A and B are shown apart, each in its own frame.
Chain A
């Protein structure tokens, strides 16, 4: 509901702002810094560490883009945005791009005049319950009390799901994820529902994670990806193909450890084209020929970024699942560098 109020306001202004803001690449190079909108704090995806340096899965995308353009992964000015301010910050030019767990939907893409350049994380809405409840499927949740964040798509998905399955539920509205954890642990609700990645992160932070289960049903599609304004194809291309470069690098076995060596030239022509030892892909984007080398050196390829920030060796402990490469049964698929 909240979002639909903003939709109208953006639609009128975004186009104007978008046109005025063409030549994004030039202005970023002049500024020497990328303005990247991130979330104000989401475990594993974006959060400042004890030294105030932003870390996380979404943050890594900003760093890769900054590295590709400016050859400096730290030349990013992170602008914390909330669910309400993110699109207007982008439309008004306060940020150059958003890398902020934003779901790619029809209205955002078309009506808000934004461009989703790809998907860096495939998420979906799920349920977490206490193991004591003895529930093994979401279809057994009839009559449950559900903690739900207000003003998000999850609220609508929940209503749809329960109606489609002819079940009733009692919503317990909450504002933030931290509040939800407290309410859920205090027993104010039987079920907590949000994106599965958020559930996993929340569960991992519990004192006894094993006492809680995430139910197998995923009731919605939440493809999260970086967003830019409409109206600057060159800039859109840079962000899109930087993301693709990270995914393609994993597919081609290029890591942050061997990228410098492979950039000298290999027998694989696609690796050569990606890393700039063959072809003119860099200059087509308006960048130097080693743009992809820099992007990959910043934080590694897609798989390395995943493992370092949210993978199963981290406290967040997410499995690759849908986010595995297409060759390994997942959905991550970079368009060919040709």
Chain B
């Protein structure tokens, strides 16, 4: 057979041709460029146009950024160093970064807010990443008290006595539960309130006189800069989610009273701008309270911001609830689960998963809205940038401060947004 072939066929290849590199236009960077940037006359035009815009903006901003003065005591000194050449004067950040970050917090106590921030991440870790040991959640639960004490200081017995209120509630719940389930819930609510109203004060002062422990007290009006944004933002974010869930459930409730309270609250808060609530917090409350009482301004702002975010959160979560097929509710009923078990085990996990983008949206919005406190005279980064600009040294400086503040906010908002993408990927169950 091979003989026949050898006579009839002139050439038979008996080895494979070695693999060759693909044509130049079909491989590597060129292929990518052809497919992604120049895949037609329209896309090619857009690509060239974009390149021109990028080049133009780089040419405009680049030299200004590169030719930066980092060490100078004032804007005029900066200009002397730059000597007529265009350049940024980030010396203002070098000179005032501590104010933009901490406000007027005493400089020898800067370790306290820094430690509070580090511990915040430790406390958040077990909540955000399920892979970590669950025992860390104990620390997360204690963190609000630790964080408060680190930031404000004062007697250590104040946060401890506040914490004991929750302990009292827990004990009351366990004790009464043996008698009656519903009564236990009431006891768990009433016991802490009773503790805080009547016993916490005497306990605090008694313990302080016996064993005066604690960090130096730092007044709220020393807070400023990014510290204030973080305090308001983090507290608002962590309180608005549970409040929002409760409001969303309340709005779906069959009980007329609960439902109408929730609807009125949500619609009222969503109907007024945040700035109105802030003005209410800073101006009107002063008139209602007896003269002489100073109800901490930051606390007032936190309450208002939390209520505001909670109303939006409730609507986001209601969207998630509405997106669940009715069958899920019916399945929960069929399994004989009571209302709270059904919510906890079946409804909420799914509804919250659906709502993640909306929830994160609200979080980021809330965090950025904290800059509105500048209008009621709190010196957040934006407020401090005005104050810094008002000093004779730095009068006339503009973009450098905003670039720095923008970068700070970007880091946090981008971080939140990346985490939410991770969470969505992790929880994806792919109903295809």
Q: Which residues of A does B touch, CB under 8 Å?
A: 13, 17, 20-21, 27, 39-52, 55, 77, 79-82, 84-85, 88-89, 91-94, 176, 178, 181-182, 201-202, 204-207, 314-316
Q: Could you tell me the distance between the alpha carbons of A82 and B387 in the complex, rounded to whole angstroms?
A: 12
Stretch from B230-238, B244-252, B306-314, B376-384 at the A interface: B376-384
Given contacts A84-B279, A94-B286, A315-B393, 12 further A-B contacts (CB under 8 A): A17-B291, A20-B290, A20-B291, A40-B374, A40-B387, A41-B391, A80-B377, A88-B287, A181-B396, A181-B398, A202-B395, A202-B396
Q: Is the contact region of chain B dominated by helix, strand, or loop, or is it mixed?
A: helix
User: B residues within 8 A CB of A178?
Assistant: 386, 389, 398
Once A43-B395, A49-B391, A205-B396 are accepted as A-B contacts, the answer to whether A92 and B221 lie under 8 Å apart by CB is no
B375 touches A48 (CB 8 A): no
Contact of A21 among B291, B376, B391, B396 (CB under 8 A): B291
Q: Is B392 among interface residues, defined by CB-CB distance under 8 A? A: yes
Closest chain A residue, CB of each to CB of B401: A178
User: B residues within 8 A CB of A202?
Assistant: 395-396
Q: Could you tell me the distance between the alpha carbons of A49 and B104 in the complex, rounded to whole angstroms?
A: 10
Q: Is B427 among interface residues, defined by CB-CB distance under 8 A? A: no
Once A40-B379, A40-B383, A93-B291 are accepted as A-B contacts, the answer to whether A79 and B221 lie under 8 Å apart by CB is yes
CB distance from A301 to the nearest CB of B (A): 21
Q: Could you tell me the distance between the alpha carbons of A314 and B392 in the complex, rounded to whole angstroms?
A: 8
Q: Could you tell me the distance between the alpha carbons of A44 and B394 in the complex, rounded to whole angstroms?
A: 11
Closest chain A residue, CB of each to CB of B375: A82
User: A residues within 8 A CB of B383?
Assistant: 40-41, 80
Q: Could you tell me the distance between the alpha carbons of A120 and B287 in the complex, rounded to whole angstroms?
A: 29
Closest chain B residue, CB of each to CB of A53: B104
User: A residues within 8 A CB of B279?
Assistant: 84-85
Contact count A vs B, C-beta below 8 Å: 111
Between A13, A91, A92, A182, the greatest number of chain B beta carbons within 10 A of the residue's beta carbon is seen for A92
The 6 closest A-B pairs by CB, nearest first: A205-B396, A41-B390, A92-B286, A41-B387, A47-B390, A205-B395
Closest chain B residue, CB of each to CB of A42: B390
Closest chain A residue, CB of each to CB of B105: A52
- 9 A-B pairs whose Cβ atoms sit less than 8 Å apart in the complex: A40-B377, A40-B379, A47-B388, A48-B99, A50-B96, A88-B287, A92-B286, A201-B395, A205-B395
A41 touches B389 (CB 8 A): yes
Q: Could you tell me the distance between the alpha carbons of A46 and B377 in the complex, rounded to whole angstroms?
A: 14
Closest chain B residue, CB of each to CB of A27: B292
User: B residues within 8 A CB of A44?
Assistant: 392
User: B residues within 8 A CB of A93?
Assistant: 286, 291-292
User: B residues within 8 A CB of A52?
Assistant: 99, 103-104
CB distance from A201 to the nearest CB of B (A): 6
Q: Could you tell me the distance between the alpha carbons of A80 and B378 in the complex, rounded to whole angstroms?
A: 7
Contact of A206 among B286, B291, B390, B396 (CB under 8 A): B396
Number of interface residues of B (CB under 8 A): 37
Q: Is B424 among interface residues, defined by CB-CB distance under 8 A? A: no
A47 touches B387 (CB 8 A): yes
User: A residues within 8 A CB of B376?
Assistant: 82, 84-85
Q: Which residues of B does A touch, CB under 8 Å?
A: 75-76, 79, 95-96, 99, 103-104, 107, 221, 279, 282-283, 286-287, 290-292, 294, 374-379, 383, 386-393, 395-396, 398
User: A residues within 8 A CB of B107?
Assistant: 51
Contact of B387 among A17, A80, A314 (CB under 8 A): A80
Q: Could you tell me the distance between the alpha carbons of A85 and B291 in the complex, rounded to whole angstroms?
A: 17
B377 touches A81 (CB 8 A): yes
User: B residues within 8 A CB of A43?
Assistant: 389-392, 395
Q: Could you tell me the distance between the alpha carbons of A50 and B412 in the complex, rounded to whole angstroms?
A: 26
Contact of A92 among B287, B387, B389 (CB under 8 A): B287
User: B residues within 8 A CB of A17?
Assistant: 287, 291
Contact of A82 among B291, B377, B389, B393 (CB under 8 A): B377
User: B residues within 8 A CB of A47?
Assistant: 387-388, 390-392
Between A41, A46, A201, the greatest number of chain B beta carbons within 10 A of the residue's beta carbon is seen for A41
Closest chain A residue, CB of each to CB of B224: A52
CB distance from A229 to the nearest CB of B (A): 11
User: B residues within 8 A CB of A316?
Assistant: 392
Closest chain B residue, CB of each to CB of A207: B79
User: B residues within 8 A CB of A21?
Assistant: 291
Q: Could you tell me the distance between the alpha carbons of A79 and B386 in the complex, rounded to whole angstroms?
A: 15
Q: Could you tell me the distance between the alpha carbons of A92 and B288 in the complex, rounded to whole angstroms?
A: 9
User: A residues within 8 A CB of B290?
Assistant: 20
B386 touches A88 (CB 8 A): no
CB distance from A318 to the nearest CB of B (A): 12
User: A residues within 8 A CB of B291?
Assistant: 17, 20-21, 92-93
Q: Could you tell me the distance between the alpha carbons of A207 and B86 in the complex, rounded to whole angstroms?
A: 11
Q: Could you tell me the distance between the alpha carbons of A41 and B393 in the complex, rounded to whole angstroms?
A: 13
Q: Could you tell me the distance between the alpha carbons of A93 and B290 in the complex, rounded to whole angstroms?
A: 10
Q: Could you tell me the distance between the alpha carbons of A94 and B383 in the complex, rounded to whole angstroms?
A: 20
User: A residues within 8 A CB of B396?
Assistant: 181, 202, 205-206
A88 touches B377 (CB 8 A): no
User: B residues within 8 A CB of A94?
Assistant: 286, 294
Closest chain A residue, CB of each to CB of B387: A41
Q: Could you tell me the distance between the alpha carbons of A84 and B377 in the complex, rounded to whole angstroms?
A: 9
Q: Could you tell me the distance between the alpha carbons of A58 and B411 in the complex, rounded to whole angstroms?
A: 38
Once A178-B386, A315-B392 are accepted as A-B contacts, the answer to whether A50 and B99 lie under 8 Å apart by CB is yes
User: B residues within 8 A CB of A181?
Assistant: 396, 398
Q: Could you tell me the distance between the alpha carbons of A42 and B291 in the complex, rounded to whole angstroms?
A: 30
CB distance from A35 to the nearest CB of B (A): 10
Q: Could you tell me the distance between the alpha carbons of A40 and B103 in the complex, rounded to whole angstroms?
A: 13
Q: Could you tell me the distance between the alpha carbons of A93 and B295 in the complex, rounded to whole angstroms?
A: 12
Closest chain A residue, CB of each to CB of B287: A13
Closest chain B residue, CB of each to CB of A86: B377
Contact of B104 among A41, A48, A91 (CB under 8 A): A48
CB distance from A90 to the nearest CB of B (A): 10
A48 touches B286 (CB 8 A): no
Q: Could you tell me the distance between the alpha carbons of A101 and B290 in the complex, rounded to whole angstroms?
A: 29
Closest chain A residue, CB of each to CB of B391: A47
B395 touches A315 (CB 8 A): yes
Closest chain A residue, CB of each to CB of B389: A178
Q: Could you tell me the distance between the alpha carbons of A27 and B99 in the complex, rounded to whole angstroms?
A: 31
Closest chain A residue, CB of each to CB of B392: A315
Between B95, B377, B378, the greatest number of chain A beta carbons within 10 A of the residue's beta carbon is seen for B377
Q: Could you tell me the distance between the alpha carbons of A92 and B376 in the complex, rounded to whole angstroms?
A: 14
Q: Could you tell me the distance between the alpha carbons of A23 and B393 in the complex, rounded to whole angstroms?
A: 40
Between B221, B378, B389, the greatest number of chain A beta carbons within 10 A of the residue's beta carbon is seen for B389
B387 touches A315 (CB 8 A): no
Closest chain A residue, CB of each to CB of B402: A178
Q: Could you tell me the distance between the alpha carbons of A237 and B292 in the complex, rounded to whole angstroms?
A: 22
Closest chain A residue, CB of each to CB of B379: A80
